[in-house]
A and B are shown apart, each in its own frame.
Chain A
């Protein structure tokens, strides 16, 4: 039972480059989330999805796009990376109809934009 898997684990990008972070979950969770973690800021919600084919903006969505074409996958895209997007990115998933205790996080992607 893999839970939530994020790829890649590390990446260095040059300013202006694009990339996609992949999140995959095998728990049949309806909801999926992308967070970023920055020193002194905690985890901030970027985008989330309440089901296949749906996405919504979180607290800090600018500069990111997402897609959820399949229930088990949630993609986070950076079209033109900026140094301010240097962060650790966490994906999470949860059931729609159970307690909030059920958030499961991936192990994170450390992204550096130079």
Chain B
């Protein structure tokens, strides 16, 4: 039973437009959420995070939104660039547990 779900395996977006990646979770004990980016033949790298006490966190072109009542978070990338093409993993944790539970990932392709 996957506790973190990314229901879209892939997403294609035109360069300059907005990319929206979605993630749902089932475990109400999760209180910290992260997005990781992964290029082929490399390990995942941290992108952005959000604590459950917030509903939005912004870092440059990347914004993460958290809807606790719906157990849903999303990552917005504006504007999308070809270099953003990668697999994006959503991850969640209970802060004190210090173990990340990952979603299955979404392959984002930004078309020039």
Contacts and interface: CB of A to CB of B under 8 A. Distances in A.
Contacts of A99: 49
Contacts of B41: 107-108
A6 B96 CA distance: 27
A42 B32 contact: no
Chain B binding surface SS class = loop
Interface stretch (B11-19, B68-76, B78-86, B102-110): B102-110
Contacts, number: 56
Contacts of B34: 100-101
B25 interface: no
Nearest to A108: B43
B104 A41 contact: yes
A103 B45 CA distance: 8
A72 interface: no
